[in-house]
Amino acid sequence: MFDLNSYLVSKNNHINNSLNEILRDRLSSSRIVSAMEYSLMAGGKRIRPVLCIAAAEAVGGKADKVLPAACAIEMIHTYSLIHDDLPAIDNDGLRRGKPTCHVAFDEATAILAGDALLTLAFQILSSIELKNEHYASKWLSVICAISRAAGYQGMIEGQMRDIASEGLMLTLNELEEMHSLKTGAIIEASIYCGAIIENGNIEQIKQLGVYAKNIGLAFQVTDDILNVEGDPKIMGKAVGTDKNRKKSTYPSIMGIDKSREFAEKLADNALQALDGFDNRSDPLRAIAGYIIERKK
């Protein structure tokens, strides 16, 4: 039987070792580097880079080939958290059980640390040794996919809509569209990049896209639920903040029980998309369940 916990521990160690090597090899000691490292190595689930690796393995590839993309995605995710926590946006003081970057350092340093992680991510992606034209084309496709997912057509637009919708009651369609941009876009890009780098075929990439879209939304639905009934000690951050900011969430529109049912339906949809894959996609299957059952 597949052991997800062991898999996550192994992949997290692999990812963390690679992130440490990147920081050590490319960066000198300074205040901005300390702030970057503080947030990047603060822990966290590493779900996005793990999904990148798991998608590569599902199409017959190996983790080592996609590690640069996986690490870049985690840097982009960390930058987004640093900026989300700023006083101008969510004004959060705790992240992963530690003071947020702007609290531990200062607001200006946190802004620059986020900017630096974002640009470092694309430095990593663009410095891959290009062995031939086909290989170069794949990595350009990766850079394009991650850029779109992280930019104004993806995560940034989702964040903007989130800010603009405070105090408003969104429809379920509006809420789903916002979260498909804010949370789902990077998750979808993570899986796409793992598959394309390791030569997934058109049908595999299509089905992995269906999987990604469903778990991306399931991830956000579960986040909304945890913001209502999660344990701050386990989550490492405050709960009840969505209600305080008058945000539209799945529990506020559907209720807790219906939200939980919706998350389970999304996870089932994701699993169905993997029907044509063999046991190499077992990590993706297990992660679909983990996403809706997690406590943080």
CATH no. for residue 100? 1.10.600.10
82, 99 contact by CB (below 8 A)? no
Region 21-26: mean pLDDT is 82
Region 208-235: mean pLDDT is 91
Region 227-239: mean pLDDT is 82
290, 3 contact by CB (below 8 A)? no
Q: Which residue's entry shows tokens 């840097």?
A: 75
- The angle subtended at Cα 261 by Cα 258 and Cα 265, nearest 5°, is 135
pLDDT at 134: 66
199, 247 contact by CB (below 8 A)? no
SS3 string, the chain, reads CCCHHHHHHHHHHHHHHHHHHHHHHHCCCCHHHHHHHHHHCCCCCCHHHHHHHHHHHHCCCCHHHHHHHHHHHHHHHHHHHHHHCCCCCCCCCEECCEECHHHHCCHHHHHHHHHHHHHHHHHHHHCCCCCCHHHHHHHHHHHHHHHHHHCCCCHHHHHHHHHHCCCCCCCHHHHHHHHHHHHHHHHHHHHHHHHHHCCCCHHHHHHHHHHHHHHHHHHHHHHHHHHHHCCHHHHCCCCCHHHHCCCCCHHHHHCHHHHHHHHHHHHHHHHHHCCCCCHHHHHHHHHHHHHHHCCC
Q: Which residue's entry shows tokens 């620059």?
A: 112
C-alpha 291/C-alpha 249 separation (Å) is 17
Lookup: tokens for 131: 């062995």
What is the chain's Cα-based Rg? 18
Region 97-107: mean pLDDT is 95
* Percentage with pLDDT > 90 across the chain: 80
Region 145-153: mean pLDDT is 97
Indicate whether 133 pLDDT > 90. no
Region 281-295: mean pLDDT is 94
pLDDT at 132: 59
Of 108, 38, 59, 63, whose CA–CA distance to 211 is shortest?
59
In the chain, how many domains are there?
1
Q: Which domain holds residue 272?
A: 4-293
Q: Give the pTM.
A: 0.94
Of 158, 162, 272, whose CA–CA distance to 214 is shortest?
272
C-alpha 96/C-alpha 23 separation (Å) is 20
pLDDT at 131: 57
pLDDT at 130: 59
Q: What is the pLDDT of residues 159-174, one digit of tens each?
A: 999 999 999 999 999 9
pLDDT at 23: 86
Region 20-30: mean pLDDT is 81
Of 152, 120, 92, 147, whose CA–CA distance to 24 is shortest?
120
Which residue pairs, CB below 8 angstroms and at least 24 apart, start in 60-67?
60/198, 60/199, 60/280, 61/194, 61/197, 61/198, 61/199, 61/200, 62/198, 63/11, 63/14, 65/197, 65/198, 66/193, 66/194, 66/197, 66/198, 67/14, 67/15, 67/18
pLDDT at 239: 84
Give the number of other CB atoms < 10 A from CB of residue 188: 23
pLDDT at 24: 83
175, 169 contact by CB (below 8 A)? no
pLDDT at 108: 98
Q: What is the pLDDT of residues 40-61, one digit of tens each?
A: 999 888 999 999 999 999 999 9
